[in-house]
Every structure is written in C-alpha cells, then in structure tokens.
Amino acid sequence: MGAEEQNIKEFKLKPMKCELNFLSKSDGSAILSQGETVALASVNGPLDVKMQSQSIEKSTLEVLFCSKGGKPSVGDRYKENIIRQTCETAILSSLYPRTAITITIQELEDYGGFLSCCLNTACLALVNSGVAMRHVFAAVSCALDDRGNILLEPTQQQLETARATMNFVFDSRQKSLVTSFTEGAFSEDTYKEALARCRSASDLVFSFYRDIVTKYSKVIG
C-alpha cells in the first residue's frame, strides 16, 4: 500500500476518481466521484456579455446548479451561493473585465458529502478551463456522531444520525480557511478539532489534484 493510500485510509476519506475534458462543448469540465457521490461541472468563459451585465473592473461569475429532480429549490440556490463565493475568492477576475464566466454543476449521485464534491469538481473544471486563479481550493466535510466522534467524509447513513455537520474549504497556498458552512450544535473545541483534521485531510485532496493534472498534461503533451 502506497503512502497516499495509507493516509486516505487513516483519514477515512472516500476514494476519488476524476475525468477532465468530459464535455466537448465547454471551455473546461470535470466529472468527479468521491465514494458513490458524483458531480459534473463545466466552465464557459470568459465570454462577452451585454452591457448591462458587464463590470468594468472584473468578470462576472455565474453559478448554475442542476439537481437530478430538475426543479430548482431553495437548497439549490444555497449551493449556488456557496460555490460562487468560494470560486470568486480563487479566480483572478480582474484579468477579465467586461466578461462573464459561467460554472454549471450537475448532480449525478448524492450519497453524502455532495456539496464538498461539487466544490472540488468546480475547482478541477476551472483548472481544466485555463482560467487564471490565485489558488486552487479543496473541500472536506465531517460529521459529529451521537458519541461526539468526528467522522471525516461521512456516509449518507452517518449523516442521517449525525448531531452536526461541518464543511470546510481551504486554499492551496497557506491552507487558509476560504469557506465554512455548518449545521447542528457543537462546542468551540469540537469545531477547532474538526477544522484541524479537515485541514490535514485537505492535503490528500490537493495531492489528488496534482496527480490528475499531471496525468492529463502528459496526455496532451
């Protein structure tokens, strides 16, 4: 067993698989599975937009989320907002004034940790598109069970009985916290412990990114 596989086992992260350039008619795309949870993301832009939608200082970022059910919900708008805010911190939008960038996320399978999977898929699609970025980012989720144990990358069954869920997104430069969204009740010490464990686990996600990009760079070369 390799070092990376050992670390994944130790942190109990779900196995990750990814394919870039999945969609031929987008500027960048990625399909990512984390365990049985699967998301598809595509990036289009920077593209010219109508005058009323332009910003003279930066590009305008739009995020569209498509659920399996097809009908938009309040939860879908929440996902769009989290993904947009996270991506805005990463994209060097000032390089693309008077344009728009659109990220479309498609739900394929949700067996827990779906929003984190969407964020990671969006990051890989942005990298694939060639859009200039300050940093890449990695999302890691965890849950607090009824005994107070912190479970990294919980399954759907574990989420159903969890006292709380916590999701963290880190940048690749300083491992700084970019985004955090939580549900449920927990102590400050528990939050700090969960944050530290997820930050350590993000190294595995960033390592996975590097492996995928290296793989596809060799294919292109």
Per-residue pLDDT tens for 71-93? 778 889 999 999 999 999 999 99
The answer to whether residue 93 is domain-embedded is yes
Q: Where residue 144 sits, what CATH number does that domain have?
A: 3.30.230.70
Mean predicted lDDT score pLDDT of the chain:
90
pLDDT in tens, 92-134: 999 999 999 999 999 999 999 999 999 999 999 999 999 999 9
For residue 218, pLDDT beyond 90: no
What's the pTM? 0.91
Do the beta carbons of residue 136 and residue 95 sit within 8 Å? Answer: no
Q: What residues make up the domain containing 29?
A: 11-220
Percent of the chain whose predicted confidence (pLDDT) is above 70: 90
Helix (H, G, I), strand (E, B) or coil at 57: coil
Cα distances (angstroms) measured from residue 179 to each of 12, 24, 83, 135: 22, 31, 9, 14
The answer to whether residue 150 is domain-embedded is yes
Give the count of domains, the chain: 1
Instruction: Show the tokens assigned to 167.
Output: 């999701």
User: How confident is the model over 5-15, as a mean pLDDT?
Assistant: 58
